[in-house]
Amino acid sequence: MKLLEIQSSVRQEGSVSRTLASKFIDRWRSYNPDTQYSLRDVGVHSPSLITANWVAANLTPSERQTEDTKALLAESDTLIAELVEADRIVIGVPMYNFGIPANLKAYFDNVIRVGRTVQYDPDTGAFNGLLTGKKALIISSRAGSYAPDTSAGAMDFCVPYLRFILNFLGIQNVDYVEVPNQGGSNEVQQQATEAAIAQLMELAKI
């Protein structure tokens, strides 16, 4: 079993998503001691933004790749290899301005590649995700509460985007733990955090 943690918070100290992901992974590994663990910290080391040259290299057939085009795609190839090898994926993501952090968007721009992680049928226009057989967990902290059944839920472009992207890649088995109200009083923050930890401890058993 290989577990890949993807962290996107730009904060090292005081990051709720980092802290809770660590608690989940520690508990998960206690149940699965043979797990091979790796961390991709895009919050600290953001992937490169894609460029026109990157796009051109990505569209170049393998038989026409040069050393220069291969170099442009090297980081993307590394990120894809990590994702392909992982059985379990844990994504720590704070909500920034109602969406995901820009560094996490850069990560997905690097790993979503036709022929590598997604198949495209030009005849039907259909996409087919290639990263099947994996399970993902999203741990998302946010200042307020954006539950789907509330008026604020329409402002959450973070988790719906992540769910869609993971499904698009072929990862259909996705759990989600929200850590809301982190901008509230200490008591409100503590209650929300403890509830999220309880969820995570249960999910670690599965």
Domains identified in the chain and CATH numbers:
2-203 (3.40.50.360)
Residue 150's pLDDT is: 80
* Whether the Cβ atoms of residue 73 and residue 109 lie closer than 8 Å to each other: no
d(CA 186, CA 26): 25
d(CA 134, CA 83): 10
Angle at the Cα of 163 from the Cα atoms of 121 and 197, rounded to 5 degrees: 155
Residue 206's pLDDT is: 80
**E-state strands within the chain:** 2-7, 36-41, 88-94, 118-121, 126-129, 135-141, 173-179
d(CA 144, CA 117): 34
Considering the entire predicted model, what is its pTM? 0.93
User: What distance separates the 2 farthest-apart alpha carbons in the chain?
Assistant: 60
Regions of the chain where pLDDT drops below 70: none
126: left (phi over 0), alpha (psi -120 to 50) or beta: beta
**What is the pairing mode between strands 118-121 and 126-129?**
antiparallel
Give residue-wise pLDDT tens across range 39-93. Answer: 999 999 999 999 999 999 999 998 999 999 999 999 999 999 999 999 999 999 9
